[in-house]
Structure 1
Amino acid sequence: MLLFDMDGTLIDSNGVWKDVDREFLARRGLPYTHAYYEGVAHTILPLAAKFTREYCRLSESCEDIIAEWMEMAKDAYAHVTVKPGVRAYLKQCRAEGRRMAVVTSSVPEHCRTALTHLDLMKYFEGVTLAHDLGLEKKSPELWLAAAETYGVRPEDCTVFDDSLSACKGARGARMRVVGVYDGFFAQDETAMRGFCDVYIKSFEELLLPPRREVRP
């Protein structure tokens, strides 16, 4: 079974949160650092808020931090775009009878908005939300839970993700991993290439060449 991350893998949306993070910190006179990015990237909102509150020594509650983030993100997911080659690859896999699902740490509301807006939901059996399980994608338990949901063995799953930590979590669950390039994680490209079973810059690399008609 094929398990796809959403943000940065299927859709070009990582920039939404980078902009939110920069503005959130700027409002408090704080710099956007690599350490902060490492603490919140591809993390479910409750844990990202907890990290932010402690790292930035804020007096606001985690609930208030999340509310501010959600207000700043607003309807951004209604305007995100699908990444190159994704739609064609999903169509190709569906034609081959491959089972597919989404595993994401995205906010449930944003996930539904994006997949509906881009008409991608029709390709997937379902969506596993890390937010609902209270697990991070770097945790093998999340990937094992996804496999159990769809009644498949972990070793029969292939994960597509742009985050090195998520790929490590999936590998810890005995899954095959395909690293997907995204500019948000560009600094991890060398490590991803060394760790993943396959690494792609674009889903266009996975498309089969069109069949040629052969004259009788």
Structure 2
Amino acid sequence: MICWDHIDTVLLDMDGTLLDLYFDNYFWMEFLPQRYAEAKHISLDDAKTQLFARFSEHRGTLNWYCLDFWRQETGLDIVAMKAEVKDLIGLRPNAITFLQKVRESGRKAVLITNAHRGSLDLKLEQIPMAPHFDGIFSSHDFGLPKEDPHLWSRLQAVMHYEPARTLLIDDSLAVLRSAKKAGIAHTLGVLQPDSQKQSMDTEEFIGLDCFSRIYPPSAQPDNH
């Protein structure tokens, strides 16, 4: 599935890749609409109709991922509400072991997420992944979503990775296509981002069902 001899850097998405997307899907599709309905004194169906229309309008843009934007749109404290259901945040199988093995093999592991810092900080507090990364970045740091191919050169200026020797693992086909356009040579899609939903079609990308299938080989000892 992967030729590790050709890879020095592993870029990893967070939600739906390292973490189970169930938390985010539940929050945006169920928890937020319920609270919005209560706040606006409307039915849950009306709340979903209003919110989902706005979601569609902004999907794939930086606003879609910006908790400050949705706070303004809804009048609700999105960060505080996410904290209320933080116990639903969970890892995908073998994610931490994979990160450990990437680092042990001498390669860099870098988190690059579209998540807003308010969500990123909450998740890193709940799931202590930070020590396993050489860098942690939100697309908001660069002013572009990962769907924009220019994001990758901005990240490259900070992390100094070589696109031809870089692997990206992500659950978004739009993001994977953006990275391909930017010259990132190795890509994997995630087959089942949300453990409560069916596997998805990763189309032109090889699909990954579990990190245990792609552990890198251990670094060879230096005998010199």
Contact 2:66/2:115 (<8 A) preserved: no
Q: Which residue of 2 aligns with 1:120?
A: 129
**Out of 4, 10, 13, which is 1:2 matched to?**
10
**Out of 16, 21, 27, which is 2:24 matched to?**
16
TM normalised by structure 2 equals 0.72
SS in 1 for 2:106: coil
Q: Distance in 2 between matches of 1:35 and 1:64?
A: 12
TM normalised by structure 1 equals 0.74
Q: Distance in 1 between matches of 2:155 and 2:136?
A: 9
Q: Which residue of 2 aligns with 1:103?
A: 112
* Structure 1 residues 129-156: Cα deviation after superposition (integer angstroms, max 9, x where no partner): 1123221111111122112211122222
Q: Distance in 2 between matches of 1:163 and 1:39?
A: 18
Q: Which residue of 2 aligns with 1:182?
A: 192
Q: Distance in 2 between matches of 1:131 and 1:105?
A: 7
Contact 2:20/2:193 (<8 A) preserved: no
Contact 1:147/1:157 (<8 A) preserved: no
Q: Which residue of 2 aligns with 1:214?
A: none
Where structure 1 has 5 or more consecutive residues not aligned to the other structure, the ranges are 54-60, 211-216
Q: Which residue of 1 aligns with 2:100?
A: 91
Q: Which residue of 2 aligns with 1:162?
A: 171
Q: Distance in 1 between matches of 2:176 and 2:13?
A: 10
Does residue 132 in structure 1 map to residue 141 in structure 2? yes
Q: Larger relative CO (CA 8 A, sep 6+): 1 or 2? A: 2
Aligned length: 197
Q: Distance in 1 between matches of 2:182 and 2:216?
A: 29
Contact 2:10/2:110 (<8 A) preserved: yes
Taking a change above 3 Å as real, the CA distance of residues 34 and 47 of structure 1, as seen in their structure-2 partners, is closer
* Structure 1 residues 54-90: Cα deviation after superposition (integer angstroms, max 9, x where no partner): xxxxxxx862437443343224446512110111111
| Aligned partner letter, 1:72 | M
Deviation, structure 1 residue 199: 1.6
Q: Distance in 1 between matches of 2:139 and 2:189?
A: 19
Q: Distance in 1 between matches of 2:216 and 2:109?
A: 18
Deviation, structure 1 residue 34: 8.0
Where structure 2 has 5 or more consecutive residues not aligned to the other structure, the ranges are 1-8, 219-224
* Structure 1 residues 177-216: Cα deviation after superposition (integer angstroms, max 9, x where no partner): 11112344967832x1x322x3211112223699xxxxxx
| Aligned partner letter, 1:177 | T
Contact 2:10/2:109 (<8 A) preserved: yes
**Out of 134, 158, 172, which is 1:149 matched to?**
158
Taking a change above 3 Å as real, the CA distance of residues 98 and 77 of structure 1, as seen in their structure-2 partners, is farther
Q: Which residue of 1 aligns with 2:211?
A: 203
Q: Distance in 2 between matches of 1:66 and 1:182?
A: 33
| Aligned partner letter, 1:22 | E
Taking a change above 3 Å as real, the CA distance of residues 188 and 41 of structure 1, as seen in their structure-2 partners, is farther
Q: Distance in 2 between matches of 1:183 and 1:36?
A: 23
Q: Distance in 1 between matches of 2:167 and 2:136?
A: 15
